Amino acid sequence: MPPIIRSRLSVGVFLTQLGDLFQRELPSRESGLLNAAKYHFRNPGKGFRAQLVLASGEALRLRYHDVLIWAAACELIHNASLVHDDISDASTHRRGQKSIHEHFGIDTALCLGDWMVAKAFELASKNKTHGGQLVGQLATAMQQTCVGQASDVGQKRCITTNQWKRIASGKTSPFLLAPIAGVALASNFDYSLQSLKNLVSLCSLVYQGRNDIDDIVPSSHRSCDLDGRKPNLVVSLFNENNTGNEDFIRWYNSGDTSKVSQWQQRIASSQAIVRANHALDIWLAEAELIVPSVPSPLREVATQLVASVNDKKITETQRGRIA
């Protein structure tokens, strides 16, 4: 797999060393979590946040051992959120295999996610000079993500695009910012990161917006967001830009799932997809305009972060037929 974030060091070697670290830190056999942890890390994902740590660490010349440990902490707390999210979303699969709660049960999934959070805090604390502050930074990111996720799962009515932006940024931004901000802290980088925070927030909207588009089109799959009444950018745009949509609102608010496919087809064949792609283009353009205001040592990291979410937008011809 090609690296998402460029680095002078071999990203492949770095991710291999990160995987080796995870294997050394696995739960004990007596804990009852070893098999679930091994199963989860059989496919550890792209290591995007770890790559952000590596690129930031190189930019700010942080000691390699501290880079590796912080990358592990960021990846662990992110993975914990995925394990718990799959329970909340009733997701049966993750990364090409059954989700932890589906394969091992909800109790084990809850405990494994909690173990990952605790292990992330433990690893962050190993930084000799900034351990306590790094733990605090992870804790803050976790709290912010939980608030964002609670807003996500608590919505059962169709929300506005402004409400969607608040929720999307709230549940995605903290774990994208933490890898870079932690390196800045550990490197004694004494410059404001406000511009970087603004950029990360915009990238979070693009990242979540692409996921939302993928949920609606193509509809050879059933929309999980419509089915579970989850916030979705495309759905909000469809609702806001269609006059006489009382039938949709009545159906959406009823909680009925028997007509998901019909409404999914209506939404996918509307202008909502075009509007969603247009919104993503605007947010990307705004993020690119912020890059020059990011402190110069981290400017290249910011540029790569924007580029990493700037995938090809979904067009009419890419939708496929609605099932």
Q: Which of 167, 190, 213 marks a domain boundary?
A: 190
Partners of 94 in the β-ladder: 97
Q: Are residues 122 and 232 in the same domain?
A: no
218: cis peptide before it, omega within 30°?
A: yes
Q: Are residues 317 and 236 in the same domain?
A: yes
Q: Are residues 100 and 171 in the same domain?
A: yes
Q: Are residues 177 and 209 in the same domain?
A: no
Nearest Cα residue to 179 out of 65, 69, 291: 69
Instruction: Report pLDDT for 319.
Output: 37
Q: Which of 161, 190, 219 marks a domain boundary?
A: 190
Instruction: Report pLDDT for 7.
Output: 62
Q: Which of 173, 190, 207 marks a domain boundary?
A: 190
* Cα–Cα dist 120/311, whole Å: 30
| Number of domains within the chain | 2
The β-bridge relationship of strands 93-94 and 97-98 is antiparallel
Partners of 93 in the β-ladder: 98
What predicted TM-score, i.e. pTM, was given to this entire model?
A: 0.89
Q: What is the pLDDT of residues 74-122, one digit of tens each?
A: 999 999 999 998 998 788 889 889 999 999 999 999 999 999 999 999 9
Q: Are residues 282 and 165 in the same domain?
A: no
Q: Are residues 245 and 319 in the same domain?
A: yes
Q: Are residues 253 and 315 in the same domain?
A: yes
Q: Are residues 237 and 283 in the same domain?
A: yes
Q: Are residues 186 and 200 in the same domain?
A: no
Helix (H, G, I), strand (E, B) or coil at 322: coil
Structure tokens at 144: 């912010």
Q: Are residues 170 and 269 in the same domain?
A: no
Instruction: Report pLDDT for 221.
Output: 83
CATH number of the domain where residue 152 is located = 1.10.600.10
Q: Cβ atoms within 10 A of the Cβ of 132, count?
A: 11
The mean pLDDT of the chain is: 90
- What is the extent of the structural domain holding 218? 192-323
Q: What is the DSSP letter of 323?
A: -
258 burial (CB, 10 Å; 0-12 / 13-18 / 19+) is: exposed
The answer to whether 239 and 211 are in contact (CB under 8 A) is no
Q: Are residues 199 and 149 in the same domain?
A: no
Instruction: Report pLDDT for 310.
Output: 86
Across 268-297, b (16+ Cβ under 10 Å) vs e yields bebebbebbbebbeebbebbbebbeebbeb
Tell me the residue type at 75: E
Q: Are residues 245 and 208 in the same domain?
A: yes
